[in-house]
Amino acid sequence: MSLKGKTAIITGSNSGIGLGIAQELARAGADVVINSFTDRDEDHKLAEDLGKEHGVTARYIKADMSKGDECRALIEQAGACDILVNNAGIQHVAPIDEFPVEKWDAIIAINMTSAFHTMAAALPMMRKAGWGRVVNIASAHGLTASPYKSAYIAAKHGVVGMTKTVALETAEEPITANAICPGYVLTPLVEAQIPDTMKEYDMSREDVIKNVMLQRQPSKEFATVEQIGGTTVFLCSDAAAQITGTTISVDGGWTAL
């Protein structure tokens, strides 16, 4: 599978799943745009190293996905967008009656509304190029719920709904839109949830991992960033040209329960 000549923009990709996706797309030959809201030397170095490793053009573009104008500017600045991966995301865990309003607003903006802005800016470019792939990173929490994650679950269900809508709006064009729904993947985002969950359930770290996080993941194994990246590459392949408006779970059986 070669994605040579295609430009992929991956939001929120200087760590975790986004970086794993950028790696796999670059391995498949795509030029990649890495993004986050910071503008550190190490962000640009990350892109430089990735480009060298895979012999592709890799750039880092700073844009804050909580701001609509910056989401759109990211796509414009990249100049091309054949593959759009909406991956930026944050989490906050609290009961709904104690959920901080600013956390709710930030999660809805970064995890959901950013995808509206980037898709709106990218679709005209895909139409002009005559080919496009939208891959939205939702979650098993885009299909099911858990307590204390109201904003995240609302946002991820929203992403799944928006993906279906865009798929219908592009159904007669050579463009597809799908969502990947990962179960637990051990990344900085998940690592950061462990202390709060330990407090919430009064459990040790080991028990939180086994009995809370992986309790609903029948495989009892975390999914890997390489697996999410590989699924993204598959969705960009010719074999997936008729796959649109759907979700692919990479969750060790979570949603089969």
Known catalytic residues?
152
Distances in Å between the alpha carbon of 221 and those of 4, 149, 168?
Answer: 33, 22, 35
Identity of the residue, 21 or 167, whose beta carbon is nearer to ligand NAD in the bound complex: 21
β-partners of residue 178 are 135
User: Which window, 12-20, 52-60, 200-208, 231-239, contacts ligand NAD (CB under 6 A)?
Assistant: 12-20
Contact 160, 255 (CB under 8 A): no
Q: Which amino acid is at 153?
A: I
Contact 58, 24 (CB under 8 A): no
Identity of the residue, 31 or 251, whose beta carbon is nearer to ligand NAD in the bound complex: 251
Least separation in angstroms between residue 125's CB and ligand NAD is 20
Identity of the residue, 7 or 36, whose beta carbon is nearer to ligand NAD in the bound complex: 36
Least separation in angstroms between residue 98's CB and ligand NAD is 21
Task: Answer yes or no whether residue 77 interacts with ligand NAD by CB under 6 A.
Answer: no
Least separation in angstroms between residue 21's CB and ligand NAD is 9
| Residues 187-226 as x/- pattern, contact with ligand NAD by CB under 6 A | xxxx------------------------------------
Which phi and psi (to 5°) does residue 182 adopt? -75, 150
Least separation in angstroms between residue 81's CB and ligand NAD is 16
Task: Answer yes or no whether residue 65 interacts with ligand NAD by CB under 6 A.
Answer: yes
Tell me how far apart the alpha carbons of residues 102 and 104 are, in angstroms, rounded to a whole number.
5
Distances in Å between the alpha carbon of 46 and those of 29, 30, 36, 197?
Answer: 17, 16, 12, 31
Would you state the torsion angle of the CA atoms of residues 133, 138, 139, 140, taken in this order, to the nearest 10 degrees? -80
Q: Which of residues 124-153 bind ligand NAD (CB under 6 A)?
A: 137, 139
Looking at residue 185, what DSSP letter applies?
B
Structure tokens at 170: 């592009």
Task: Answer yes or no whether residue 252 interacts with ligand NAD by CB under 6 A.
Answer: no
Task: Answer yes or no whether residue 158 interacts with ligand NAD by CB under 6 A.
Answer: no
Query: Where does this chain bind ligand NAD (CB under 6 A)?
Result: 12-18, 35-37, 64-66, 87-90, 110-111, 137, 139, 182, 184-185, 187-190
